[in-house]
Amino acid sequence: MDARYNTAYLWGDLMNQDAAVGSVLRIERASIHDGQGLRTVLFLKGCPLRCRWCSTPESQRPNPEKGYAIDRCTGCGTCVGSCPEGALSMTDNGLKVLTDFSKCNHCFICVSKCLFGAIKEYGSFMSVPEVVQEISKDEIFFFHSSGGVTISGGEPLSQPDFVSEVLRECRALGIHTAMETSLFAPFGSIKKILPWLNVLYVDIKHMDGKLHKQLAGADNSQILENIQKIDQSEYPVEIIVRIPMIPGANDSDANLSLVAEFCKSLKKLKEIELLPYHRLGTDTYKNLAMDYPLKDLVPPSQDRILERASFLSQQNPCFPVRVGGGFV
């Protein structure tokens, strides 16, 4: 467990909650990178993997949490006196603030006290009706763009009952549904969601189980098995395989060839997307006092991205290859 968190912040507390309440990171509207048309993207908190390139570290822990942007802090000290738990103190030089996470109960009072936006709340608990109401506000955009809702994370399958309920309600409203997932979860959790899903985006991070474990914290056997089970299931869900393209880690000829080979047998595969590595989450790592292992990695050039996409296409011309994430 992360030493910054007290025992009230374990996975179990979240998993025992009523399925009608979910741990939501944020809701983003009008996305054009997470499915067909304009998408409203519901980002959830909590992920059992730890991909070294993760660009949303604020989604990893299961519950809402506090972030601190040291660059924005003026050292005014207003937050320190507002904390009912005495968890905040000034640094020795009196310029910045320290949080004693063994005392912090994540009440977020300090967030509202900071006039400079230096303390931020990552996530909140929301009920199924609250979430569906937010999503359905965009129905007119869905209608005109053939868009819909995309559930993302974190890992949505960490909250399978909540996600199942949200998607069921959305489908009842005629809203197109998609989910971005690692599929690192028991198949029983996935089965709760499949009846309400139009499109499933799944990452294949590496075909070698040992390297997958080094890069993401767990091996890939359950993930690959789940893809095949979904492909053979009765549900008419479209599968889009995504490859996060991490220079030097998984962009070799050998690995891309193995992904292409694996995909050949998938009947429900619609396309493969390459998602080039970027560094957009760097500041968030700092805000959460988390280490970013790939902070010095240089993102791939446009030429390299196109060359890798072309190579992947040549491995099996039967499926389309796209570069995703808004890069090309």
We find the least distance from the C-beta atom of residue 162 to ligand SF4, in angstroms, to be 24
Among positions 78-107, residues that touch ligand SF4 (CB under 6 A) are 78-79, 82-83, 85, 87-88, 97, 99, 104-107
List, in order, residues 6 or more apart from 123 with CB less than 8 Å away.
23, 24, 25, 26, 45, 58, 63, 64, 65
Q: Omega of the bond prior to 154 within 30 degrees of 0, cis? A: yes
Closer to ligand SF4 by Cβ: residue 268 or 286: 286
- In the chain, the amino acid numbered 295 is K
Question: Which three-class secondary structure state does DSSP give residue 114?
Answer: coil
Among positions 36-55, residues that touch ligand SF4 (CB under 6 A) are none
Q: Is 199 in the site for ligand SF4 (CB under 6 A)?
A: no
List, in order, residues 6 or more apart from 51 with CB less than 8 Å away.
205, 215, 216, 217, 244
List, in order, residues 6 or more apart from 111 with CB less than 8 Å away.
66, 119, 120, 121
Q: Is 116 in the site for ligand SF4 (CB under 6 A)?
A: yes
We find the least distance from the C-beta atom of residue 240 to ligand SF4, in angstroms, to be 39
Closer to ligand SF4 by Cβ: residue 68 or 277: 68
Place of tokens 């957009």: 280
DSSP 179-247: EEE---S-HHHHHHHGGG-SEEEEE---SSHHHHHHHHSS-SHHHHHHHHHHHHSSS--EEEEEEEE-T
Closer to ligand SF4 by Cβ: residue 29 or 116: 116
Among positions 247-306, residues that touch ligand SF4 (CB under 6 A) are none
Angle at which helices 160-172 and 128-136 cross, to 10°: 40
CA distances 237 to 55, 73, 122, 231, Å, are 27, 47, 31, 8
Closer to ligand SF4 by Cβ: residue 30 or 107: 107
We find the least distance from the C-beta atom of residue 6 to ligand SF4, in angstroms, to be 10
Closer to ligand SF4 by Cβ: residue 120 or 176: 120
Distance CA 35, CA 245 (A): 19
We find the least distance from the C-beta atom of residue 68 to ligand SF4, in angstroms, to be 7
Instruction: With contacts defined by CB under 6 A, name the span among 3-11, 55-63, 77-85, 226-234 that binds ligand SF4.
Output: 77-85
Q: Is 77 in the site for ligand SF4 (CB under 6 A)?
A: yes
Considering only 54, 73, 126, 175, the residue that binds ligand SF4 (CB under 6 A) is 73
Site string for ligand SF4, 166-195 (x = CB under 6 A): ------------------------------
Closer to ligand SF4 by Cβ: residue 94 or 236: 94
Residue 56 is given by DSSP the state -
Instruction: With contacts defined by CB under 6 A, name the span among 6-14, 74-82, 206-214, 223-231 that binds ligand SF4.
Output: 74-82
Distance CA 150, CA 34 (A): 7
How many residues bind ligand SF4, per CB under 6 A?
27
Considering only 110, 175, 216, 241, the residue that binds ligand SF4 (CB under 6 A) is 110
Distance CA 193, CA 201 (A): 13
We find the least distance from the C-beta atom of residue 11 to ligand SF4, in angstroms, to be 20
Distance CA 157, CA 167 (A): 13
We find the least distance from the C-beta atom of residue 98 to ligand SF4, in angstroms, to be 10
Bridge partners, residue 243, by sequence? 274
We find the least distance from the C-beta atom of residue 71 to ligand SF4, in angstroms, to be 11
Residues that bind ligand SF4 (CB under 6 A): 66, 73-79, 82-83, 85, 87-88, 97, 99, 104-110, 113-114, 116, 118-119
